[in-house]
Amino acid sequence: MQFTIVTGLSGSGKTQVMRFLEDAGFFCIDNLPPIMIPQLATMFISMNGKYEKIAFAIDSRVGDMIGELLDNLNILRENGYEYKLIFVDARDEVLVKRYKETRRHHPIASDLGLLDSVKKEREMLSKIFQEADTIIDTSDYTLEQLSKRLRSIYFEGTHEEFSINIMSFGFKYGIPLDADLVFDVRCFANPFYVDELKDKTGNDQEVRDYVMNTKTAKKFMDKLVSMIKFLLPLYVEEGKTSLTIGIGCTGGKHRSVTMAIVLEKELSEYNRKLIHRDIARGK
């Protein structure tokens, strides 16, 4: 199980970090009292793999309890649970400017003004800052740059952050509304007109052999895989975390199912899910 603890200065961008982690598949809990960390970790572990990635946001909103964070993280490690401690920071003048723009109340009250509140909070979090595994200074970051920084921390050299839904469907039932890319495979040989294959589906090997047993079908799949692999890094660069590919034939049982299965196997290095939307229709 992968645990991440996000902390840092108020106004530094912790909310954006948690949103990124949530999009990346983390179960996120915000404003957590530190004393609850070991208990929740044990609870999540006992769920037998239901949750694999957990993120806790803990900061000065919990008041003096923030001083208990490192002790509770030590308990976590003593129990055999590994974690990543991320400290999100920004320069004092940047934090003051951000608070003035949002007109929010700083969690550390000071009669001497915002800058004094920021300095008091920085002192409160100084020990945690020193123990952080990763420090992210967002002073000069755009949201896109922050996202790239986080991707480099969690997913550099992997495809884990990006999920692909490969959906077969029948055009007679409509194009999937959530499809990002749609491919029409009605131009290939239709097993529906072969008596011994008519009542089977693309899940059956005989149907897949029939559909893929032509040079044009194989060439189409080669070009489709090549194009998808070309596009995926571009989508990731733009901050997209998932892609739905629709592959359609007439009824969504034979050709589309076959092509979706073959494509899913060709993209084995990615986190992907195979969906046959219309395979059971008309039975």
The DSSP bridge partners found for residue 244 are 165
- For residue 13, being part of any structural domain is answered with yes
φ, ψ for residue 91 (rounded to 5)?
-65, 150
Which among 117, 124, 126 has a CA at the least distance from the CA of 95?
117
Q: Does 84 share its domain with 190?
A: no
- Exposed, middle or buried by CB within 10 Å (0-12, 13-18, 19+), for 146? middle
Q: Does 167 share its domain with 256?
A: yes
- For residue 67, being part of any structural domain is answered with yes
- For residue 283, being part of any structural domain is answered with no
With DSSP H G I counted as helix, E B as strand and the rest as coil, what are the percentages for the chain, rounded to 5? 45, 20, 35
Q: Does 84 share its domain with 138?
A: yes
CB 281 within 8 A of CB 169: no
**pLDDT tens per residue, the chain (283 residues)?**
789 999 999 999 999 999 999 988 899 999 999 999 999 999 998 887 788 899 999 999 999 899 999 999 999 989 888 899 999 999 999 999 998 887 778 889 888 888 999 999 999 999 999 999 999 999 999 888 898 888 888 876 555 557 899 999 999 999 998 899 999 999 999 999 999 999 999 999 999 999 999 999 999 999 999 999 999 888 877 767 789 999 999 999 999 999 999 999 999 888 889 999 999 986 6
Q: Does 76 share its domain with 176?
A: no
Question: What's the whole-model pTM score?
Answer: 0.63
Give the DSSP H/E element, type plus range, for residue 137: strand 134-137
Q: Does 122 share its domain with 171?
A: no
- For residue 173, being part of any structural domain is answered with yes
Q: Tell me what pLDDT residue 103 has.
A: 73
- For residue 243, being part of any structural domain is answered with yes
Please state whether beta strands 134-137 and 53-57 pair in parallel, antiparallel, or not at all (unpaired).
Answer: unpaired
CB 98 within 8 A of CB 51: no
Q: What is the spatial distance between Cα 106 and Cα 54, in angstroms, rounded to a whole number? A: 27
- For residue 7, being part of any structural domain is answered with yes
Q: Does 149 share its domain with 169?
A: no
Which among 192, 180, 256 has a CA at the least distance from the CA of 221?
256
- For residue 282, being part of any structural domain is answered with no
Q: Does 129 share its domain with 182?
A: no
Which among 127, 128, 124, 89 has a CA at the least distance from the CA of 110?
124
Which among 247, 249, 254 has a CA at the least distance from the CA of 275?
247
Total domain count, the chain: 2
Q: Does 44 share its domain with 102?
A: yes
- For residue 65, being part of any structural domain is answered with yes
Q: Does 74 share its domain with 202?
A: no
The domain boundary, picked from 102, 133, 154, lies at: 154
The domain boundary, picked from 154, 185, 210, lies at: 154
The domain boundary, picked from 122, 154, 186, lies at: 154
Q: Does 59 share its domain with 136?
A: yes
Q: Tell me what pLDDT residue 55 has.
A: 95
Q: In terms of residue numbers, what domain contains 238?
A: 163-276
